[in-house]
Amino acid sequence: MDASRNVFSKNKIINIMSLLFLIHGCIYFIFPQDIYNLDSPIKYIKYIILLVLLLISMKQAGIANVFVYSVTLIAMLIINIIAVQHNFNIILFLNYILPMSMLFFYKGLSGKLAIYRIIGVTYIATTVFGYIEFFFLHGLFFRFSDSGYRIISIFVNPNNMGLVTVALTIYLYEHLNKQSNRILLLANSFFLIFLTGSRNALLVFLVVTFLYIIRYLTLLLVKNQLLKYRSVFLVGLSGVMLIVICILFYKKINNGVQQILDNTRSLGEVDLFTGRLVQYNAFFENVASNLIFPNQNIFSYVDNNYLHIWGFFGLLILILFFFFNLYLLLKTVITNNFQGLVMLIFFLVAGLAENFLYLWPLGYFYWYLVGSILKSNNHQLTRHE
């Protein structure tokens, strides 16, 4: 009896701390001046929580997994130092390596987490604080006060907020039984993402919505046993039409966002697209001089997950990362893990314009997803209520 009570208490502590790990950004609404203060103690809350979570779950995770994680950390550290040499940054390296703990400690955490409840509360908090910021606290966070509408809610910056909203939406979508509730979820998420002004988040949201529509049409055809031999053609045709609609829809939204950005941009600041081109040009100039380790001499930052891996860890690690994700995609298809497939596609598309691997909480979401795909043969991510 005492043993079971201790297990229950331990699991409750893990769930509470996991929730705080995700929503502690709400503290910035009390201390908005600290949001970009690197010396603020609020910055260390998530790392303290993470450390406690890993210590609590270490025994269940297994000594072998802890050992492999330690070896991986040391190996990646050596590779990173070789790749960037005098440009080595310990903080950036830790931001890369700490989220990987979700993979190696997955066994110790997954059996204790009430994922649906944690994600649900996080989504509600994201929505509530996002709307409070937009409707009542314009300009609260000074870095984005010029545009006013680019909400960040509890996730530090607009792009991060937009992409996290997409990730939360994907998980919750599969846990809603009524189609009407799913539509309300997508509508609310779209509005939140639009308020962030993140075009990358808007794009991946449209991709995810497109996948859900195609799945719905396919299941509808199968359920009603209609047009057995022409169903593939019809779904394909619907897919092409939806892609065209999404492109036109996204273009219209994008133009609206760009117009607002143009109206609020300070003089002399280049537009976002031009800024990305400048980044790519600088990075590939480094590649021309060093194909394997482009950032050995001059560190070139680029808003692209794949190019950043290339520069930060080298070409071989990028190739390994590519084939590893290809394997994960194939496994989600083979095991009929549609939710895992959509989540993985979300990350891979988002990575074209965002370095999600070292972002909180996206990096942690990604590696937890990897753990669920590798460890489970179920048709959806592991959930425990």
| Structural domain that includes position 285 | 272-385
263: confidence class by pLDDT, cuts 50, 70, 90: very low
- 301 in a domain, yes or no? yes
119 in a structural domain: no
HSE, CB side, 13 Å, CA atoms: give it for residue 85: 7
Mean pLDDT value across residues 297-316: 88
Distances (CA, A) of 105 to 61, 77, 111, 374: 5, 19, 11, 13
Note the pTM of the prediction, 2 decimals.
Answer: 0.84
Q: Which residue has the higher pLDDT, 33 or 343?
A: 343
The phi and psi torsions of 187 (rounded to 5 degrees) equal -65, -45
pLDDT of res. 3: 52
pLDDT confidence of residue 6: 57
CA pair distance 315, 107, nearest whole angstrom = 30
Please report the pLDDT score of residue 271 as a whole number: 54
- The answer, yes or no, to whether residue 329 has pLDDT greater than 70, is yes
Task: Work out the burial of residue 206: count CB atoms within 10 Å of its CB; fewer than 13 is exposed, 13-18 middle, 19 or more buried.
Answer: buried
Mean of pLDDT values over 222-238: 52
Tokens of 208: 């995810």
Residue pair 57/25 in contact (Cβ under 8 Å)? The answer is no
CB 94 within 8 A of CB 54: no
Which position has the higher pLDDT, 137 or 246?
137
202, 367 Cβ separation under 8 angstroms:
no
Dump pLDDT digits (tens) for 80-97: 999 998 888 898 899 999
Whether 165 is in a domain gets the answer no
Flag whether 20 is in a domain. no
Number of other residues whose CB lies within 10 A of the CB of residue 339: 20
Among 202-211, 337-346, 356-365, 370-379, the least confident range: 370-379
Q: Are 335 and 378 in contact (CB under 8 A)?
A: yes
Percent of the residues in the chain that have a pLDDT greater than 70, as a whole number: 79
- Sorted by sequence, the CB contacts under 8 Å of residue 221 that are 6+ apart come out as 227, 231, 234, 235
**pLDDT at residue 318, rounded to an integer:** 95
Q: Residue 341 falls within a domain, yes or no? A: yes
Tokens of 360: 């909180």
Mean pLDDT of all residues in the chain?
81
Tally of domains in the chain: 1
Confidence at residue 2, expressed as pLDDT on a 0 to 100 scale = 53
